[in-house]
Amino acid sequence: MKAGSKLEQALVEGRFAVTSEIGPPKSVDAEVVRRKARLLRDHALAANITDNPTGVVRMASIACGLMALQEGMEPIVQVTCRDRNRMAIQSDLLGAAAMGIKNVLCLTGDHPSLGNHPQSKPVFDLDSLQLTQMVRNMRDEKQFQNGEELNPEPRLFVGAVENPFGHPLQFRSVRLAKKVNAGADFIQTQLIFNIKRFREWMQEVRDRGIHERVYILAGVGPIRSAGAARFMRDRVPGMDVPEEVVQRMAGVERNEARKEGIKICVETIQELREMEGIAGIHIMALEWEEAVGEIVETAGLKPLPMRLAASVSPER
């Protein structure tokens, strides 16, 4: 075991893992985090704590992670390169690990120009790959980024993300391989609506044998309305929402929309579960945490752990 988190444990044991997500508040209202943690803890193994998502300033992810931990929800602390340089990130991680955080997810981060402080100076001292490699080296090589010795080292289970729908498409499995080479232990993917494209990507991933070196958690989430579907299709960078999904959402009565969104999500999960190389599901409820329980139940992912995911057996 690298970090000994519940997530790591489940994955190593070959259990089909479910993770979810907690968005920190735009205030010091700790109860927001605690409530979400309580809401999710029975449905997911661990929850991502987002780091100023979409470039909007919110409560620090490490702090929220600690609160989630107190509520019995294992946090996966997100770390982005947008607003901290390699010094800040390393010191934060030392603190996080010291306080008992065991999972970290390394991201590039959304550009500040998309957020609520567009005039701030974008940092991007590192990119997500370099970040992943740095965290892995802190743990495995016991080294700071500059090569200095780090002892004792932070024991962190290192995650990274990949967007199978980003362009150029041909490069996406290559980039995944790079992340695994950089040291990613697990991968969470972008929200999947275009199953066809995801299937193609997974094929490439399997062709390269990457699925045998990393745990891939497929990203899903319920859509709340046709408007939300269109918004995600047209406005959210890196999202691929096919026309038929929009049509399906538009085809039902307004008050039935949420139900339909959950239905689509569940169907997606069921398709994903059958795919070779998928080690779990990452449910992003996007401020609709109440839906997670229903999804997990309807999709038959409960009780946790559900079953051994036969196709996943990473040899590390």
**Residues that bind other proteins in the complex, under the rule CB under 8 A:** 81-82, 86, 108-111, 113-114, 122, 124-130, 133-134, 145, 161-163, 165-168, 171, 174-175, 177-178, 181-182, 190, 237-238
> Sign of the CA dihedral 301, 304, 308, 311?
positive
CB of 21 to other proteins, least distance (A): 16
Distance set, CA 274 to CA 20, 188, 202 (Å) = 20, 17, 12
Residue tagged 């040291």 (tokens): 183
CB of 176 to other proteins, least distance (A): 11
**Between 5 and 190, CB nearer to other proteins:** 190
The DSSP string of 182-248 is HT-SEEEEEE---HHHHHHHHHHHHHTTGGGTSEEEEEE-----HHHHHHHHHHSTT----HHHHHH
CB of 263 to other proteins, least distance (A): 26
CB of 210 to other proteins, least distance (A): 12
CB of 86 to other proteins, least distance (A): 7
For residue 158, how many C-alpha atoms fall within 13 Å in the half-sphere facing its CB? Answer: 26
**Between 40 and 160, CB nearer to other proteins:** 160
**Between 73 and 106, CB nearer to other proteins:** 106
* Three-state secondary structure readout of 114-160: HCCCCCCCCCCCCCHHHHHHHHHHHHHCCECCCCCECCCCCCCEEEE
Phi and psi, residue 101, nearest 5° = -85, 135
Cβ atoms of 101 and 75 within 8 Å: the answer is yes
Structure tokens at 148: 């200095």
Angle formed by the axes of helices 86-98 and 128-140, to 10°?
Answer: 50
Position 143: which residue type?
Q
**Between 109 and 261, CB nearer to other proteins:** 109
**Between 152 and 168, CB nearer to other proteins:** 168
CB of 241 to other proteins, least distance (A): 12
CB of 181 to other proteins, least distance (A): 6
**Between 209 and 237, CB nearer to other proteins:** 237
**Between 136 and 273, CB nearer to other proteins:** 136
